[in-house]
Amino acid sequence: MFIQTIKRFIEKFQLFQKGDRVLLGVSGGLDSVVLLETLYLLKKEYNLSLFVSHYDHKIRRDSYKDALFVYQLCKERKIPFFYTASSVPAYAKREGLSLEMAGRELRYNLWYYLAKKYDFQKIALAHHLDDLAEEIFMKLIKGTGKRGLAGIPVKREDLIVRPLLFVTKEEIKKFALERGLTWREDETNKDLRFLRNKIRHILIPFLENNFNKKIKENIRKTAFLIAEEEELIEELAKSKFEEIKFYLEGEVALKLHELKQIHPVLRKRIYFLAFKEAKIPLFRITYPHLENLENLITKKTKGPIYLPGNFLAYRGPGYIIFTKKLFSFPYFEIVVSKEGEYLLPNNRILKVFRAPFTKDFIKPENSMSFPAERLTFPFIVRRKKPGDKIYIPSLGHKKLKKFFLEKKIPHYLREDILLIEREKEIVGVWNLYIHPEYEITDKTKELIILQIK
């Protein structure tokens, strides 16, 4: 009966395709053990290749026993096993996160990495109806929008799937006992310091006993209806995102004029797609982050907007860009005396090399090119300093500060723009300016290329 129910969910939501390579997140607890058993029983029917990932959070001293238990389950079923361990408490402290959020962020980062490296078509997780109810109440308590009321999606990005989402903990346990399964008990699930556990052990039982015994079932119906609408909105957001996104020196950017024309509800969904593309931690995004971005769009604030994971968003001329937070360094000079690689203060590499110049020459990403006969060694790569000027034909020398203002370069970016200097003359401002005597012409045969990696 249980297996048939799960099969109906798999078919209804098209969770698997024949021949999928599936990575299962298995902690060793009741839910994940049942997930493993269920997909193992359905393996032949869907022609699935199963793999298991176990993440040791190093919260409990005996957590290694969970890993050994899961390893034994995999060994008995001849399923490949991935074991990963790291200290979630240390990561939580370093990043200023709760233990629950830190653990979730590390697990998902691992699963996405494994899926990409080993070509897994699906990542199967063991969330169930009780988890769905708990998630919705957590979001209501903390404050949420309609998206939050949808709870945990049964399918996300066509990668994350949750085959057990619409069965209860009680049904899962009954199946486990019928199959004679054993599992590990995690004592932290009873720790009332965690909000989720308070909801699980106090709030939901209270509501069931005093208001409605079928509250979980009603939540399932409501969440399912909202989730259908969410899927439509998400598809619209993806379509618009593809229209207005572009890359600026490898960073994700959005066309500002087009972004302004989009309804604010859809615009906020597009921000999430940009966050994901830029690898900004989605679990840490809060409502104020979205409001700050809206204010940046409407010019209520100049920015930049600081985002989780050491990222920021700022306005450029005609765009919004999402990038790693930039740090200013003390003044520096690097003498480039020959071809090779030079370490910049931000730990990125400046590669200097020669290349022939032909009509079909394609400029390398994040680089500047000069005629080799003009930019000869040695020359200097440095940060700006007070009094810097550049030469403009017919105008003479112009202060670099005024040049940046005209180019609408935000003040917080100017300190990190590289200058190329030869014989005490600025011959290049990174991807903004080249001295007229150092421009590429039809007579140029060889280039000196500077590329940041």
Length of the chain: 453
Report residue 177 as tokens: 């006992």
Going through 227-376 in order, the beta strands assigned E by DSSP cover: 245-248, 251-255, 305-307, 311-316, 319-324, 333-336, 340-343, 349-356, 367-371
Nearest to 19 by CA among 38, 44, 36: 44
387 has binding-site annotation: no
Structure tokens at 435: 């001295």
Give the span between the Cα atoms of 184 and 102, in whole angstroms.
22
CA-only gyration radius of the chain, Å: 28
Query: How many C-alpha atoms does 374 have within 13 Å on its Cβ side?
Result: 21
Beta bridge partners, 397, equal: 391
* Structure token pair of residue 446: 């060889």
Q: How far apart are CA 228 and CA 249, in angstroms?
A: 37
Pick from 327, 325, 251, 266: which is nearest to 297 by CA? 266
140 appears as a binding residue in the annotation = no
- Cα distances from 212 to residues 128, 152, 216, 222, in angstroms, run 19, 22, 9, 15
How many degrees, rounded to 5, is the angle at CA 57 between CA 51 and CA 59?
150
CA distances from 413 to 231, 294, 390, 409 (A): 38, 21, 18, 7
Q: Is 28 annotated as contributing to ligand binding?
A: yes
Give the integer Cα–Cα distance in Å for 264 and 262: 6
Is 186 annotated in a binding site? The answer is no
CA-CA-CA-CA dihedral for 268, 272, 277, 280, to nearest 10: 120
CA–CA separation, 65 and 183 (whole Å): 11
Helix or strand or coil: residue 154?
A: coil
Quick check: 256 and 245 in contact, CB under 8 A? no
CB 341 within 8 A of CB 348: no
Of all residues in the chain, what percent are helix, strand and coil, respectively (each to 5)?
45, 20, 35
- The amino acid that residue 195 corresponds to is L
Residues at the binding site are: 27-32
Residues at the binding site for ATP are: 27-32
